[in-house]
Amino acid sequence: MKLKELAEQLGLSQTTVSRALNGYPEVNKATRERVSQAAQKYGYSANANARRLAIGRIGAIGILMPRDRSERFGPHTSEFFSGLAEQLSQHEMDLLMSPSINNDELAAYRRLISSKRVDGIIITGPTLMDERVAMLTEAKFPFVLHGRTNIAAPHAWLDIDNAGAFRQAASHLIDLGHRHIAMIDGLKGHTFSEHREMGYREALVERGIAVDPRFIVHERFSDETGFHEAQRLLSYTPHPTAILAGSMMTALGIFRAIRSKGYELGKEVSVIAHDDVFPYLNASNMVPAMTTTRSSIRSAGSRIAELLVRVLDGEPVENIHEIWPVELILRQSSGPPVAPRR
Amino acid sequence: MKLKELAEQLGLSQTTVSRALNGYPEVNKATRERVSQAAQKYGYSANANARRLAIGRIGAIGILMPRDRSERFGPHTSEFFSGLAEQLSQHEMDLLMSPSINNDELAAYRRLISSKRVDGIIITGPTLMDERVAMLTEAKFPFVLHGRTNIAAPHAWLDIDNAGAFRQAASHLIDLGHRHIAMIDGLKGHTFSEHREMGYREALVERGIAVDPRFIVHERFSDETGFHEAQRLLSYTPHPTAILAGSMMTALGIFRAIRSKGYELGKEVSVIAHDDVFPYLNASNMVPAMTTTRSSIRSAGSRIAELLVRVLDGEPVENIHEIWPVELILRQSSGPPVAPRR
DNA sequence: CTGTTAGCGCTTTCAA
DNA sequence: TTGAAAGCGCTAACAG
């Protein structure tokens, strides 16, 4: 069923029908009612492409799927997407996921823009000098960044306080009496990773604790690297009595390493993990319950969609910056260091 | 830059330029070359909406995002999407994720179809009499189902052998000497859940072991339910000496419950979990390594995209059915039952 | 309040 | 091998 046919059925012009359906004010109430009824009855809904072609707005925002096994696509992704969807449904917008072709991400972004398939773009997992941000800013294409960069040109972003999260966690451990603290975080280069390391370093330096470079690990997020790296760390003498984990998955591996070394978690070795909040993996429910730096990535997704809508509505991007504080949730996986029983 | 402008630059007609760019054979080789160069130079790429409007094909497939916290959106999602993307990039197709509005999923599907935003749809997590399948079949809209239903009308689907997976796992446990075997799987109603229970029951019945309804648990997939349900199961006398877990997350919780009851995993209590294969959570790397029924959901995603492309190319849907066998990978979390030390 | 008339940017006959 | 012209289905000025 197309507009023309619907209009003929009703004995009205396409224009009037279109106006009635799109909520224009000048339509007679009775007419509008009649039109709605008919549209309902015939299951009419405008051809999105024709509509878009005519109005020039797309009604979709884009996100590029990395082709390789990037950290940008992990267990947090579904939560982030859920958050986006929640918000986008309010605006009747879709989310277009475009696979990047031939591993050339920038080209994929350019194509996405020039082919006019989306109104705006969401970028995640930036590096400090992210070239996607540079390119999109230059191209003046609307986007919101999840994370931050060091790029000066104004652009919209929302980030969590990663430095603060790790600074707070490390400080807390130092308060508890720990002096050998390690961190196992995500790959180097990513802003969040760099910021977390900064926060960690600040906390140590502030309290006059020397930074041991062997204790700073940057690796892919997985239980496996958590396990192996923690095993390595615990084999040093002295070994760390506390470990900061960049993700819940990493933490799971670290837990195993601690147990397999015969240490008790939360006593001989403490762990604090960053928690994106997954409905299927609950820190408070672990044994012992896990101390975390918590920040809902679902909420971030939802908010970012909202911000992008504001950008699309013309709000200047220099006004759109948000840093979300991260909560330190104290539970049982962290405590004062206890000397190993021998 | 639009086609018209590009054509003017080149002193050619839109027609010729269009043909050159779309690989029509009748274009002079030199002309085609010149056009490609220019397109490259100006970063021209066709307005997708205009193009779609003209040719009637969209170049995108759709997937509906459940609005509520459905099991359809979990840690496996990112892997499934990666698989889809991998394949779709071969065909230069996008993936459109449409949020369902007002919790009315069927309406959202109808809107997605009638507004012509996608060429085909992928459905996941069906129930036995899934109404989405019924509706799309009726509407003759191309789709591929990940999973199966009991609906007779022909439609394309790919499923893994869930019954076989649990039958195999349960049989193996019986072979090892277990007589009290429980299962903690996903919510009732979903086909995969029903099939797994069927397989489990078959294995028990075949060997003359009575089915204890208390030992069959259907719950949301999460470490938390795994933990609580396993604790409950282990408090019975006699308690199960083996547990089948429907997901890795569930298994994590079960592991904790076993440890917190003071049992040794793989000895006093065995666990076999279904593993979708996550890069960030590795069964073989656990301690003890986890016995699993393994099937890569990423591969399934990739294949499903391929199948959908075939459906779009007009292949009859009655030819498009695949059941993938599930591998039982023996590791250390399952072994002969060992009487608890007291 | 409703209708007529041009487009939106591309593809595709049909003619040359 | 190339071009002119007619749509694809909708919206938006402009009239009435």
A75: contact with B, CB 8 A cutoff: yes
Which strand D nucleotides have any atom less than 7 A from protein CB atoms? 1-5, 7-13
Q: What pLDDT sits at residue B185? A: 97
Q: What pLDDT sits at residue A254? A: 98
- pTM for the predicted model, two decimal places: 0.93
* Whether B37 and B151 share a structural domain: no
* Whether B156 and B305 share a structural domain: yes
Any idea which nucleotide's C1' is nearest the CA of B19?
C11
A191: contact with B, CB 8 A cutoff: no
> Which pLDDT band holds residue B57 (cuts at 50, 70, 90)?
confident
* Whether B44 and B80 share a structural domain: no
Cα–Cα distance, A125 to A159 (Å, whole number): 10
pLDDT digits (tens, 9 = 90+) for B302-319: 999 999 999 998 899 999
What are residue B124's DSSP bridge partners? B146
Using DSSP's 3-state secondary structure scheme, residue B331 falls into: coil
Through-space separation of residue A53 CA and nucleotide D2 C1' in angstroms:
28
pLDDT tens digits for chain A (342 residues)? Answer: 899 999 999 999 999 999 999 988 989 999 999 999 999 999 899 999 999 999 888 989 999 987 666 667 888 999 999 999 889 988 889 999 988 777 788 989 999 999 999 999 999 999 999 999 999 999 999 999 999 999 999 999 999 999 999 999 999 999 999 999 999 999 999 999 999 999 999 999 999 999 999 999 999 999 999 999 999 999 999 999 999 999 999 999 999 999 999 999 999 999 999 999 999 999 999 989 999 999 999 999 999 999 999 999 889 999 999 999 999 999 999 999 998 665
> How many domains, in total, are found in chain B?
3
Q: Please, are residues A89 and A109 in contact by the beta-carbon 8 Å criterion?
A: no
B48 CB neighbours strand C below 7 A: no
Whether residue A288 is preceded by a cis peptide bond, meaning omega within 30 degrees of 0, is yes
Q: What pLDDT sits at residue A334? A: 97
Residue A237 lies in a domain: yes
Q: What pLDDT sits at residue B67? A: 67
Local structure of residue A210 (DSSP, 8 states): P
Closest CA to B66 of B99, B107, B111: B99
Q: What pLDDT sits at residue A67? A: 67
Structure tokens at A180: 């050998």
Which range of residues forms the domain containing residue B320? 60-160+298-325
Q: Please, are residues B12 and B31 in contact by the beta-carbon 8 Å criterion?
A: yes
* Whether B18 and B65 share a structural domain: no
- Please provide the average confidence, as pLDDT, over all residues in chain B: 93
**How many C-beta atoms lie closer than 10 Å to residue A216's C-beta?**
17
Question: Which residues of chain A have a CB within 8 Å of the CB of B249?
Answer: 280-281
Indicate which of B3, B22, B49 best probes the interface with A, i.e. most A CBs within 10 Å of its own CB. Answer: B49
Through-space separation of residue A327 CA and nucleotide C5 C1' in angstroms:
61
* Whether B247 and B172 share a structural domain: yes
Instruction: Write out residues whose CB is closer than 7 A to strand D.
Output: A 2-4, 14-15, 18, 21-22, 46-47, 50-51, 53-55; B 11-16, 19, 26-29, 31, 50, 53-54, 56
Residue A243 lies in a domain: yes
Lowest mean pLDDT across A90-104, A140-154, B27-41, B83-97 = A90-104
Between strands A327-329 and A291-294, the pairing is antiparallel
How many angstroms separate the CA of residue A207 from the nearest CA in chain B? 34
Q: Please, are residues B271 and B291 in contact by the beta-carbon 8 Å criterion?
A: yes
* Whether A193 and A180 share a structural domain: yes
* Whether B166 and B277 share a structural domain: yes
> Which pLDDT band holds residue B202 (cuts at 50, 70, 90)?
very high
Report the alpha-carbon angle A273-A274-A279, nearest 5. Answer: 105
Q: Please, are residues A141 and A155 in contact by the beta-carbon 8 Å criterion?
A: no
Residue B208 lies in a domain: yes
Cβ pair B117:A111 closer than 8 A:
no
Q: What pLDDT sits at residue B132? A: 95
**How many C-beta atoms lie closer than 10 Å to residue B336's C-beta?**
13
Beta-carbon contacts below 8 Å between A and B: 182
B47: contact with A, CB 8 A cutoff: yes
Q: What pLDDT sits at residue A79? A: 93
Q: What pLDDT sits at residue B68? A: 67
Interface of B with A in 90-109 (CB under 8 A): 92, 94-101
Lowest mean pLDDT across B80-94, B171-185, B275-289 = B80-94
Q: What pLDDT sits at residue B301? A: 97
Percent of chain B surpassing pLDDT 70 = 97
**How many C-beta atoms lie closer than 10 Å to residue B148's C-beta?**
22
Cα–Cα distance, B182 to A208 (Å, whole number): 54
B103 CB neighbours strand C below 7 A: no
* Whether A85 and A29 share a structural domain: no
Structure tokens at A236: 């040093």
How many angstroms separate the CA of residue B62 from the nearest CA in chain A? 9
* Whether B172 and B107 share a structural domain: no
Residue B250 lies in a domain: yes
Residue A340 lies in a domain: no
Q: Please, are residues A312 and A142 in contact by the beta-carbon 8 Å criterion?
A: yes
Residue nearest to nucleotide C7 (CA to C1'): A54
Question: Which residues of chain A have a CB within 8 Å of the CB of B53?
Answer: 47, 49-50, 53
**How many C-beta atoms lie closer than 10 Å to residue A263's C-beta?**
18
Through-space separation of residue B23 CA and nucleotide D1 C1' in angstroms:
14
Using DSSP's 3-state secondary structure scheme, residue A180 falls into: coil
Nearest-CB residue to A85 (from B75, B97, B116) = B97
Through-space separation of residue A3 CA and nucleotide D16 C1' in angstroms:
23
B30: contact with A, CB 8 A cutoff: no
Nearest chain A alpha carbon to B118: A48
Interface of B with A in 263-282 (CB under 8 A): 278-282
CATH number (domain holding residue A38): 1.10.260.40
Using DSSP's 3-state secondary structure scheme, residue A265 falls into: strand
H-type alpha helices, B214-296:
223-235, 248-260
Indicate which of A78, A84, A104 best probes the interface with B, i.e. most B CBs within 10 Å of its own CB. Answer: A78
* Whether A142 and A239 share a structural domain: no
Q: Please, are residues A193 and A185 in contact by the beta-carbon 8 Å criterion?
A: yes
* Whether A169 and A210 share a structural domain: yes
pLDDT at B69 over 70: no
How many angstroms separate the CA of residue A206 from the nearest CA in chain B? 34
Cβ pair B279:A222 closer than 8 A:
yes
Structure tokens at A166: 């790790």
* Whether A70 and A49 share a structural domain: no
Q: What pLDDT sits at residue A95? A: 93
Structure tokens at A300: 């971030």
pLDDT digits (tens, 9 = 90+) for B115-132: 999 999 999 999 999 999
Residue B331 lies in a domain: no
> Which pLDDT band holds residue B72 (cuts at 50, 70, 90)?
confident
Residues 6+ apart with CB under 8 A from B116: A47, A48, A49, B52, B58
> Which pLDDT band holds residue B166 (cuts at 50, 70, 90)?
very high
Using DSSP's 3-state secondary structure scheme, residue A28 falls into: coil
CATH number (domain holding residue A88): 3.40.50.2300
Q: What pLDDT sits at residue B109? A: 93
Cβ pair A279:B117 closer than 8 A:
no
The H or E element containing residue A322 is: strand A321-324
pLDDT at B341 over 70: no
Residue A339 lies in a domain: no
Cβ pair B88:A77 closer than 8 A:
no
| Residue numbers 4-33 of A with CB closer than 7 A to any atom of strand C | 11-16, 19, 26-29, 31
Residue B93 lies in a domain: yes
